Structure 1
C-alpha cells in the first residue's frame, strides 16, 4: 500500500511539472488517502501483529 501512495505521489509531482493541475489534485488526494490508510494499518499491525512463539 505504501508503494501505491509513493507511485501516486510521483505521478502528482510529474503532472505538476508539466502543468496538469487537475491530475495533480487527483493524484495527490489519492496518495494522501492511501498513505493514511497505510499508517492506520501499520499501527493496527503493531498492536495485533504476530507475537513470539511459546517454546516448550
Structure 2
C-alpha cells in the first residue's frame, strides 16, 4: 500500500491537490487506517489511472 506522499510523487501533484480530488470524489480509492493515515492500494491506483485514460 502507498502513502499519500508516495501517490502524490508518482502522479506529480501536491498533497493539497490530492485532498481536493478526494473531497470531490475524484481521487483513487483510499483506506483509512485506525491512526487516521490514508493508504492507497497499488491495484486501486492502477485501476484509477486506467479509468482516467479511458475518459481522456
Q: Which has the higher helix share?
A: 1
TM-score range, shorter chain: 0.3 to 0.5
Structure showing greater radius of gyration is 1
What TM-score results when the alignment is normalised by the length of structure 2? Answer: 0.35
Q: Which has the higher strand share?
A: 2
What TM-score results when the alignment is normalised by the length of structure 1? Answer: 0.35
